[in-house]
Amino acid sequence: MNKTIISPSILAADFADFGKAAAEIDASGAKWVHMDVMDGSFVPNITFGPQLVRALRKRTQSFLDVHLMIVQPNRYIREFADAGADGITFHFEAETHAQKVLCEIRSLGKKAGIAINPSTPASMLEEILPFIDLALIMTVNPGFGGQSMIPQCLEKVEKLAKMREKAKLNFRISVDGGINENTAVQAKNAGADVLVMGSAFFEHSAKKTLIDRFQG
């Protein structure tokens, strides 16, 4: 069984002060930093690119959990790897040759992740499970923080956890979108072992208490 990890998403941080956000995450004891890269095409919003990964790499030793919400992610894998990402997760819906891209990520010495939108079935991932280190189940439609979790998405977490057990694999299952203290419990019970938290983390006044409650 994997230990639970909280990955605070800097999408909910002050965009004028990402250095402070990284320091807050480190101080809370959270082990990962979730970085949402959006291109205005795969999702309606635009955020940041590899430059920010490179800048934060200098500020934190934490695992940089980069979530690419961009079309044709194969074009940017090397850039994010060079910038210092530890894990690179891209969307199954955005890439024709997902297996090839997963192998490329691993060949660069990084953890390879695949993400699926709420409307994509978990079964779509069956054949590529041996090639992933992380499966990210979107629990909202990607693009914006602060949305409510779609509860039906947790059924996919359960399915994926069963598929993982059946295949005797050990990839992590991450949930992303609308994860707060209540939904985190549900996601954990469903089999998730990485909980991405944007608003719930940055709006929390006692961040260390929050992390201690769920991590480990």
Of 14, 36, 133, 193, which one is the catalytic site residue? 36
Q: Among 66, 32, 31, which Cα is nearest to 51's?
A: 66
Nearer to Zn ion, 176 or 193 (CB): 176
Contact pick of 24, 65, 95, 176 for ligand DX5 (by CB under 6 A): 176
Kindly identify the residues of this chain, within the stretch 64-93, that bind ligand DX5 according to CB under 6 A: 67
Residues whose CB falls within 8 Å of the CB of residue 80, separated by 6 or more in sequence, listed in order: 37, 50, 53, 66, 68, 88
Task: Return the structure tokens found at 175.
Answer: 């949930």
With CB under 5 to 8 Å by kind, the binding choice for 145 among ligand DX5, Zn ion, none is ligand DX5
Nearer to ligand DX5, 17 or 127 (CB): 17
Q: Which range in 19-27, 116-124, 135-143, 182-190 contacts ligand DX5 by CB under 6 A? A: 135-143
**5: helix, strand or coil:** strand
Q: How far apart are CA 52 and CA 70, in angstroms?
A: 16
Catalytic-residue membership of 36: yes
* 176 has catalytic annotation: yes
Q: At closest approach, how far in Å is the CB of 142 from ligand DX5? A: 3
d(C-alpha 34, C-alpha 145), whole Å:
12
The C-alpha atoms of residue 18 and residue 142 are separated, in whole angstroms, by 21
Indicate which residues carry an active-site annotation.
36, 176
Q: Contact residues for ligand DX5 (CB under 6 A)? A: 9, 11-12, 34, 36, 67, 140, 142-143, 145-147, 176-179, 196-200
